[in-house]
Homo-oligomer: A and B are copies of this chain.
Amino acid sequence: MNFIENGTVTSPKGFKAAGVVGGVKPSNTTKRDIMMIASDIPCTAAAVFTKNLVKSSAIEVTKKNISNGIAQAVIANSGNANTCNADGIEKAERMCELAAENLGIDKNDVIVASTGVIGQILPIEPFERAVPEIAALMSENGGTDAAEAIMTTDTVKKEAAVSVEIGGKNVTIGAVAKGSGMIHINMGTMLSFVTTDAAISSEMLRAALCEAVEVSYNMVSVDGDTSTNDTLAILANGVAGNEEITTRSADYTAFTQALTALCKMMAKKLAADGEGATKLMVCTVTGAKTVADAKGAAKAVICSSLVKAAIFGSDANWGRVLCALGYSGCDIDVTKVDVAFSSAAGEIYVCKNGAGIDFSEEKAKEILLEKEIVIKVVLNDGDGEAEAYGCDLTYDYVKINGDYRT
Protein backbone atom coordinates (compact mmCIF):
# COMPACT_ATOMS: atom_id res chain seq x y z
CA MET A 1 0.00 0.00 0.00
CA ASN A 2 1.47 3.34 -1.08
CA PHE A 3 0.40 6.94 -0.95
CA ILE A 4 0.36 8.49 -4.43
CA GLU A 5 2.16 11.81 -4.93
CA ASN A 6 -0.39 14.59 -5.55
CA GLY A 7 -3.12 11.97 -5.22
CA THR A 8 -6.74 13.10 -5.35
CA VAL A 9 -10.26 11.95 -6.07
CA THR A 10 -9.55 11.58 -9.80
CA SER A 11 -6.49 9.35 -9.24
CA PRO A 12 -8.57 6.13 -9.51
CA LYS A 13 -9.29 5.10 -13.12
CA GLY A 14 -12.57 6.13 -14.71
CA PHE A 15 -13.31 9.18 -12.54
CA LYS A 16 -13.51 12.80 -13.68
CA ALA A 17 -14.14 16.00 -11.74
CA ALA A 18 -14.31 19.77 -12.06
CA GLY A 19 -15.10 22.80 -9.92
CA VAL A 20 -15.98 26.39 -10.84
CA VAL A 21 -16.76 29.77 -9.30
CA GLY A 22 -20.56 29.66 -9.14
CA GLY A 23 -21.24 32.56 -6.78
CA VAL A 24 -23.37 30.63 -4.29
CA LYS A 25 -22.61 33.43 -1.85
CA PRO A 26 -23.21 36.61 -3.87
CA SER A 27 -20.07 38.09 -2.32
CA ASN A 28 -17.93 35.26 -3.73
CA THR A 29 -16.49 36.05 -7.14
CA THR A 30 -13.11 34.33 -6.92
CA LYS A 31 -13.24 30.95 -5.12
CA ARG A 32 -14.53 27.75 -6.75
CA ASP A 33 -17.72 26.83 -4.87
CA ILE A 34 -19.60 24.25 -6.98
CA MET A 35 -18.12 20.93 -8.07
CA MET A 36 -18.99 17.57 -9.53
CA ILE A 37 -17.23 14.20 -9.42
CA ALA A 38 -18.45 11.49 -11.80
CA SER A 39 -17.58 7.97 -12.81
CA ASP A 40 -17.75 6.93 -16.46
CA ILE A 41 -19.92 4.00 -15.42
CA PRO A 42 -22.30 3.37 -12.49
CA CYS A 43 -20.63 2.54 -9.16
CA THR A 44 -21.42 0.64 -6.02
CA ALA A 45 -21.72 3.25 -3.33
CA ALA A 46 -21.97 3.73 0.43
CA ALA A 47 -22.18 6.75 2.68
CA VAL A 48 -22.36 7.76 6.32
CA PHE A 49 -23.92 10.95 7.63
CA THR A 50 -24.07 13.24 10.63
CA LYS A 51 -25.92 11.96 13.70
CA ASN A 52 -27.28 15.46 14.31
CA LEU A 53 -31.11 15.48 14.37
CA VAL A 54 -30.95 18.73 12.42
CA LYS A 55 -29.85 17.63 8.96
CA SER A 56 -29.20 19.30 5.64
CA SER A 57 -31.88 18.65 3.03
CA ALA A 58 -29.02 17.44 0.84
CA ILE A 59 -28.56 14.52 3.23
CA GLU A 60 -32.20 13.51 2.99
CA VAL A 61 -32.00 13.45 -0.81
CA THR A 62 -28.67 11.61 -0.84
CA LYS A 63 -29.99 8.96 1.55
CA LYS A 64 -32.88 8.28 -0.84
CA ASN A 65 -30.65 8.22 -3.92
CA ILE A 66 -28.05 5.92 -2.40
CA SER A 67 -30.51 3.49 -0.80
CA ASN A 68 -30.07 0.98 -3.67
CA GLY A 69 -26.29 0.93 -3.17
CA ILE A 70 -25.66 2.50 -6.58
CA ALA A 71 -24.48 6.00 -7.55
CA GLN A 72 -22.50 7.57 -10.37
CA ALA A 73 -21.80 11.20 -9.48
CA VAL A 74 -21.45 13.78 -6.73
CA ILE A 75 -22.57 17.40 -6.87
CA ALA A 76 -21.55 19.63 -3.96
CA ASN A 77 -21.29 23.29 -3.06
CA SER A 78 -19.80 25.48 -0.37
CA GLY A 79 -21.17 28.84 0.84
CA ASN A 80 -24.60 27.60 1.90
CA ALA A 81 -25.51 24.49 3.93
CA ASN A 82 -29.07 24.16 2.60
CA THR A 83 -30.12 23.32 6.17
CA CYS A 84 -33.19 24.60 8.07
CA ASN A 85 -34.80 25.98 4.93
CA ALA A 86 -38.44 25.36 4.05
CA ASP A 87 -37.58 24.70 0.37
CA GLY A 88 -34.40 22.69 1.05
CA ILE A 89 -35.52 19.33 -0.42
CA GLU A 90 -36.75 20.95 -3.62
CA LYS A 91 -33.39 22.72 -4.07
CA ALA A 92 -31.36 19.58 -3.37
CA GLU A 93 -33.49 17.61 -5.86
CA ARG A 94 -32.92 20.33 -8.46
CA MET A 95 -29.14 20.09 -7.94
CA CYS A 96 -29.36 16.35 -8.71
CA GLU A 97 -31.50 16.97 -11.80
CA LEU A 98 -29.04 19.53 -13.14
CA ALA A 99 -26.11 17.18 -12.56
CA ALA A 100 -27.95 14.26 -14.21
CA GLU A 101 -29.10 16.25 -17.23
CA ASN A 102 -25.66 17.64 -17.91
CA LEU A 103 -23.78 14.38 -17.28
CA GLY A 104 -26.32 12.22 -19.11
CA ILE A 105 -26.99 9.97 -16.12
CA ASP A 106 -29.96 9.04 -13.90
CA LYS A 107 -30.87 11.75 -11.35
CA ASN A 108 -31.37 9.04 -8.72
CA ASP A 109 -27.68 8.14 -9.05
CA VAL A 110 -26.48 11.54 -7.81
CA ILE A 111 -25.04 12.20 -4.36
CA VAL A 112 -25.69 15.81 -3.30
CA ALA A 113 -23.99 17.75 -0.49
CA SER A 114 -23.82 21.34 0.71
CA THR A 115 -21.69 23.16 3.28
CA GLY A 116 -21.76 26.71 4.60
CA VAL A 117 -24.14 28.94 6.53
CA ILE A 118 -27.18 27.24 8.07
CA GLY A 119 -30.64 28.74 7.63
CA GLN A 120 -30.26 30.84 4.53
CA ILE A 121 -32.27 30.00 1.41
CA LEU A 122 -30.04 28.32 -1.19
CA PRO A 123 -30.11 30.33 -4.43
CA ILE A 124 -30.55 27.91 -7.37
CA GLU A 125 -29.54 30.33 -10.17
CA PRO A 126 -25.78 29.82 -9.59
CA PHE A 127 -26.30 26.08 -10.22
CA GLU A 128 -28.42 26.62 -13.34
CA ARG A 129 -25.56 28.69 -14.74
CA ALA A 130 -22.59 26.69 -13.43
CA VAL A 131 -23.51 23.01 -13.83
CA PRO A 132 -23.37 22.97 -17.67
CA GLU A 133 -19.99 24.70 -17.40
CA ILE A 134 -18.72 22.12 -14.90
CA ALA A 135 -19.99 19.23 -17.06
CA ALA A 136 -17.99 20.61 -19.99
CA LEU A 137 -14.85 20.88 -17.84
CA MET A 138 -14.97 17.37 -16.30
CA SER A 139 -11.51 15.82 -16.57
CA GLU A 140 -9.13 13.32 -15.03
CA ASN A 141 -7.11 16.25 -13.69
CA GLY A 142 -10.10 17.96 -12.05
CA GLY A 143 -9.83 16.47 -8.54
CA THR A 144 -7.97 19.45 -7.15
CA ASP A 145 -10.53 21.95 -8.42
CA ALA A 146 -13.25 19.83 -6.83
CA ALA A 147 -11.32 19.85 -3.55
CA GLU A 148 -11.16 23.65 -3.68
CA ALA A 149 -14.87 24.01 -4.42
CA ILE A 150 -15.92 22.43 -1.10
CA MET A 151 -13.56 24.52 1.07
CA THR A 152 -15.14 27.01 3.51
CA THR A 153 -12.79 28.30 6.21
CA ASP A 154 -10.31 25.57 5.23
CA THR A 155 -6.92 27.10 4.50
CA VAL A 156 -5.57 24.17 2.49
CA LYS A 157 -7.13 21.70 0.06
CA LYS A 158 -7.51 18.22 1.52
CA GLU A 159 -6.87 15.41 -0.94
CA ALA A 160 -4.91 12.17 -1.05
CA ALA A 161 -4.85 8.82 -2.75
CA VAL A 162 -3.39 5.37 -2.11
CA SER A 163 -2.70 2.41 -4.36
CA VAL A 164 -2.82 -1.23 -3.30
CA GLU A 165 -2.56 -4.53 -5.14
CA ILE A 166 -5.71 -6.59 -4.88
CA GLY A 167 -6.08 -9.93 -6.66
CA GLY A 168 -3.11 -9.10 -8.87
CA LYS A 169 -4.60 -5.78 -9.99
CA ASN A 170 -3.49 -2.28 -9.08
CA VAL A 171 -6.38 -0.64 -7.18
CA THR A 172 -6.44 3.07 -6.38
CA ILE A 173 -8.50 4.88 -3.75
CA GLY A 174 -8.70 8.70 -3.75
CA ALA A 175 -10.33 11.23 -1.45
CA VAL A 176 -11.16 14.91 -1.07
CA ALA A 177 -12.53 16.50 2.08
CA LYS A 178 -13.39 19.80 3.66
CA GLY A 179 -13.37 20.35 7.37
CA SER A 180 -12.31 23.23 9.58
CA GLY A 181 -15.02 24.10 12.15
CA MET A 182 -18.15 22.41 13.49
CA ILE A 183 -16.10 19.25 13.61
CA HIS A 184 -16.64 16.62 16.25
CA ILE A 185 -16.42 12.96 17.08
CA ASN A 186 -18.77 10.86 14.94
CA MET A 187 -18.23 12.05 11.44
CA GLY A 188 -15.59 14.56 12.26
CA THR A 189 -15.81 16.25 8.93
CA MET A 190 -18.38 18.15 7.03
CA LEU A 191 -17.88 16.66 3.58
CA SER A 192 -15.61 14.00 2.18
CA PHE A 193 -15.84 12.04 -1.04
CA VAL A 194 -13.84 8.90 -1.74
CA THR A 195 -13.50 7.23 -5.13
CA THR A 196 -12.00 3.89 -6.06
CA ASP A 197 -11.62 1.81 -9.15
CA ALA A 198 -11.87 -1.37 -7.06
CA ALA A 199 -14.60 -3.85 -7.86
CA ILE A 200 -16.46 -4.35 -4.61
CA SER A 201 -20.08 -5.06 -3.79
CA SER A 202 -22.05 -2.28 -2.14
CA GLU A 203 -22.45 -4.36 1.05
CA MET A 204 -18.70 -4.95 1.36
CA LEU A 205 -18.03 -1.31 0.42
CA ARG A 206 -20.29 -0.20 3.24
CA ALA A 207 -18.59 -2.58 5.69
CA ALA A 208 -15.12 -1.34 4.68
CA LEU A 209 -16.22 2.29 4.96
CA CYS A 210 -17.61 1.77 8.47
CA GLU A 211 -14.41 0.03 9.63
CA ALA A 212 -12.24 2.82 8.25
CA VAL A 213 -14.40 5.67 9.56
CA GLU A 214 -14.44 4.31 13.09
CA VAL A 215 -10.70 4.91 13.55
CA SER A 216 -10.28 8.00 11.35
CA TYR A 217 -13.06 10.55 10.71
CA ASN A 218 -14.84 9.45 13.88
CA MET A 219 -11.74 10.26 15.96
CA VAL A 220 -11.38 13.90 14.91
CA SER A 221 -12.61 16.90 16.88
CA VAL A 222 -11.95 20.56 16.21
CA ASP A 223 -14.52 22.27 18.39
CA GLY A 224 -17.03 19.80 19.77
CA ASP A 225 -19.81 20.90 17.44
CA THR A 226 -21.32 18.08 15.36
CA SER A 227 -22.29 19.55 12.02
CA THR A 228 -25.69 19.29 10.41
CA ASN A 229 -24.17 18.48 7.02
CA ASP A 230 -21.50 15.82 7.61
CA THR A 231 -21.41 13.47 4.65
CA LEU A 232 -18.79 10.90 3.71
CA ALA A 233 -19.54 9.01 0.51
CA ILE A 234 -17.54 6.43 -1.41
CA LEU A 235 -17.96 5.37 -5.06
CA ALA A 236 -16.38 2.20 -6.48
CA ASN A 237 -16.50 1.72 -10.25
CA GLY A 238 -14.61 -1.56 -10.64
CA VAL A 239 -12.44 -0.29 -13.51
CA ALA A 240 -9.29 -1.73 -11.87
CA GLY A 241 -10.48 -5.13 -13.02
CA ASN A 242 -9.96 -7.06 -9.79
CA GLU A 243 -12.35 -9.88 -9.08
CA GLU A 244 -15.28 -8.27 -7.28
CA ILE A 245 -14.94 -8.32 -3.49
CA THR A 246 -18.16 -9.86 -2.15
CA THR A 247 -17.05 -11.46 1.14
CA ARG A 248 -14.71 -10.68 4.04
CA SER A 249 -11.82 -12.19 2.08
CA ALA A 250 -8.10 -11.38 2.07
CA ASP A 251 -8.90 -8.91 -0.74
CA TYR A 252 -11.48 -7.24 1.50
CA THR A 253 -8.87 -6.90 4.24
CA ALA A 254 -6.30 -5.43 1.85
CA PHE A 255 -8.88 -2.94 0.54
CA THR A 256 -10.06 -1.98 4.02
CA GLN A 257 -6.50 -1.49 5.27
CA ALA A 258 -5.72 0.84 2.35
CA LEU A 259 -9.01 2.72 2.81
CA THR A 260 -8.29 3.06 6.54
CA ALA A 261 -4.80 4.44 5.90
CA LEU A 262 -6.29 6.97 3.46
CA CYS A 263 -9.05 7.98 5.88
CA LYS A 264 -6.54 8.39 8.75
CA MET A 265 -4.43 10.62 6.51
CA MET A 266 -7.51 12.71 5.68
CA ALA A 267 -8.50 12.86 9.37
CA LYS A 268 -5.08 14.28 10.25
CA LYS A 269 -5.40 16.82 7.44
CA LEU A 270 -8.79 17.87 8.81
CA ALA A 271 -7.49 18.19 12.37
CA ALA A 272 -4.33 20.07 11.38
CA ASP A 273 -6.40 22.62 9.44
CA GLY A 274 -9.07 23.06 12.13
CA GLU A 275 -10.32 26.62 12.31
CA GLY A 276 -7.55 28.85 13.55
CA ALA A 277 -5.29 25.87 14.29
CA THR A 278 -1.54 26.30 14.44
CA LYS A 279 -0.81 22.72 15.54
CA LEU A 280 -1.97 19.16 14.95
CA MET A 281 -2.62 17.43 18.27
CA VAL A 282 -2.67 13.63 18.37
CA CYS A 283 -3.54 11.76 21.55
CA THR A 284 -2.44 8.13 21.70
CA VAL A 285 -3.81 6.00 24.51
CA THR A 286 -2.37 2.59 25.30
CA GLY A 287 -2.86 0.13 28.14
CA ALA A 288 -6.60 0.78 28.52
CA LYS A 289 -8.92 -1.89 29.93
CA THR A 290 -10.82 -1.93 26.60
CA VAL A 291 -10.62 -0.28 23.17
CA ALA A 292 -13.77 1.67 24.07
CA ASP A 293 -12.04 3.08 27.17
CA ALA A 294 -9.00 3.98 25.08
CA LYS A 295 -11.17 5.76 22.52
CA GLY A 296 -13.14 7.65 25.15
CA ALA A 297 -9.97 8.73 26.92
CA ALA A 298 -8.25 9.88 23.72
CA LYS A 299 -11.32 11.82 22.63
CA ALA A 300 -11.70 13.57 26.00
CA VAL A 301 -8.10 14.80 25.84
CA ILE A 302 -8.28 16.18 22.29
CA CYS A 303 -11.68 17.80 22.99
CA SER A 304 -10.59 19.65 26.14
CA SER A 305 -10.53 23.41 25.52
CA LEU A 306 -7.98 23.76 28.29
CA VAL A 307 -5.61 21.15 26.83
CA LYS A 308 -6.07 22.75 23.40
CA ALA A 309 -5.26 26.22 24.73
CA ALA A 310 -2.21 24.89 26.61
CA ILE A 311 -0.89 23.27 23.43
CA PHE A 312 -1.39 26.59 21.62
CA GLY A 313 0.74 28.22 24.32
CA SER A 314 3.30 25.37 24.22
CA ASP A 315 2.67 24.97 27.97
CA ALA A 316 3.32 21.49 29.41
CA ASN A 317 0.20 21.72 31.58
CA TRP A 318 -0.25 17.96 31.93
CA GLY A 319 -2.67 18.38 34.86
CA ARG A 320 -5.29 19.28 32.27
CA VAL A 321 -4.66 15.97 30.50
CA LEU A 322 -5.29 14.13 33.78
CA CYS A 323 -8.36 16.28 34.37
CA ALA A 324 -9.80 15.34 30.95
CA LEU A 325 -9.06 11.64 31.53
CA GLY A 326 -10.85 11.93 34.86
CA TYR A 327 -14.09 13.26 33.38
CA SER A 328 -13.97 11.09 30.25
CA GLY A 329 -16.39 8.62 31.77
CA CYS A 330 -13.97 5.79 30.99
CA ASP A 331 -12.83 3.08 33.37
CA ILE A 332 -9.39 4.40 34.33
CA ASP A 333 -7.26 3.82 37.41
CA VAL A 334 -5.87 7.32 37.84
CA THR A 335 -3.06 6.10 40.10
CA LYS A 336 -1.57 4.15 37.18
CA VAL A 337 -1.55 6.88 34.51
CA ASP A 338 1.68 7.98 32.81
CA VAL A 339 1.75 10.99 30.46
CA ALA A 340 4.40 12.13 27.99
CA PHE A 341 4.57 14.80 25.31
CA SER A 342 6.39 14.04 22.09
CA SER A 343 7.12 15.66 18.74
CA ALA A 344 9.90 15.87 16.17
CA ALA A 345 12.00 17.47 18.94
CA GLY A 346 11.85 14.42 21.22
CA GLU A 347 9.77 12.93 24.02
CA ILE A 348 9.41 13.86 27.69
CA TYR A 349 7.53 12.15 30.53
CA VAL A 350 5.75 14.61 32.85
CA CYS A 351 3.55 12.34 34.97
CA LYS A 352 4.02 8.82 36.35
CA ASN A 353 1.43 6.87 38.36
CA GLY A 354 -0.97 9.80 38.28
CA ALA A 355 1.42 12.23 39.97
CA GLY A 356 3.79 14.86 38.66
CA ILE A 357 7.48 14.07 38.21
CA ASP A 358 10.44 16.39 37.83
CA PHE A 359 11.04 17.29 34.20
CA SER A 360 12.93 19.88 32.22
CA GLU A 361 10.52 22.72 31.41
CA GLU A 362 13.03 23.85 28.79
CA LYS A 363 12.98 20.52 26.97
CA ALA A 364 9.16 20.34 27.25
CA LYS A 365 8.88 23.79 25.67
CA GLU A 366 11.15 22.75 22.83
CA ILE A 367 8.97 19.69 22.17
CA LEU A 368 5.72 21.64 22.35
CA LEU A 369 6.91 24.39 20.00
CA GLU A 370 6.73 21.90 17.09
CA LYS A 371 3.73 21.76 14.71
CA GLU A 372 2.69 18.15 15.40
CA ILE A 373 2.29 17.26 19.06
CA VAL A 374 1.60 13.78 20.39
CA ILE A 375 0.09 13.50 23.85
CA LYS A 376 1.00 10.01 24.95
CA VAL A 377 -1.22 8.52 27.64
CA VAL A 378 -0.21 5.14 29.09
CA LEU A 379 -2.91 3.69 31.35
CA ASN A 380 -0.96 0.56 32.40
CA ASP A 381 -4.20 -1.31 32.94
CA GLY A 382 -4.81 -3.53 29.88
CA ASP A 383 -4.33 -3.79 26.11
CA GLY A 384 -6.84 -1.28 24.71
CA GLU A 385 -5.38 1.27 22.29
CA ALA A 386 -6.72 4.24 20.36
CA GLU A 387 -5.62 7.44 18.67
CA ALA A 388 -7.60 10.69 18.30
CA TYR A 389 -6.89 13.81 16.27
CA GLY A 390 -7.44 17.44 17.16
CA CYS A 391 -5.83 20.85 17.05
CA ASP A 392 -4.97 23.72 19.32
CA LEU A 393 -7.45 26.44 20.33
CA THR A 394 -6.31 29.84 19.14
CA TYR A 395 -7.31 33.48 18.88
CA ASP A 396 -8.09 32.86 15.24
CA TYR A 397 -10.73 30.22 16.02
CA VAL A 398 -12.60 32.88 17.96
CA LYS A 399 -12.02 35.49 15.27
CA ILE A 400 -13.22 33.22 12.45
CA ASN A 401 -16.36 32.25 14.34
CA GLY A 402 -17.22 35.60 15.86
CA ASP A 403 -18.59 36.81 12.56
CA TYR A 404 -18.92 33.86 10.19
CA ARG A 405 -22.02 34.74 8.23
CA THR A 406 -20.69 37.85 6.48
Contact = CB atoms under 8 A, between A and B. Distances in A.
Given A310-B404, A402-B315, A403-B315, A53 B325 contact: yes
A242 interface: no
Contact of A354 (B84, B117, B304): B84
A321 to B, nearest CB: 9
A348 interface: no
B404 A327 contact: no
A: contact size bracket: 35 or more
A390 interface: no
B84 A351 contact: yes
Interface stretch (A66-74, A94-102, A391-399): A391-399
Contact of A322 (B84, B309, B327, B332): B84
Contacts of A86: 355
Contact of A120 (B117, B182, B356): B356
A189 B324 CA distance: 16
A303 interface: yes
A309 B405 CA distance: 12
A310 B85 CA distance: 20
Interface in A112-155: 117-121
A317 interface: yes
Nearest to A181: B306
Given A398-B397, A402-B313, A322 B54 contact: yes
A319 B53 contact: no
Tell me whether chain A's interface is mostly helix, strand or loop, or mixed: loop
A185 to B, nearest CB: 10
A394 B313 CA distance: 16
A325 to B, nearest CB: 7
A223 B315 contact: no
A319 B83 contact: yes
B81 A319 contact: yes
Contacts of A404: 310, 313, 315, 317
Contacts of A304: 224-225
B399 A326 contact: no
B405 A399 contact: no
A326 B317 CA distance: 33
Interface of A: 51-55, 81, 83-86, 117-121, 181-182, 184, 223-228, 303-306, 309-310, 312-313, 315, 317-320, 322-327, 332, 334, 351, 354-356, 393-395, 397-406
User: Lowest 8 A-B CB distances belong to which pairs?
Assistant: A118-B319, A313-B402, A54-B326, A309-B401, A119-B356, A52-B326, A119-B319, A226-B327
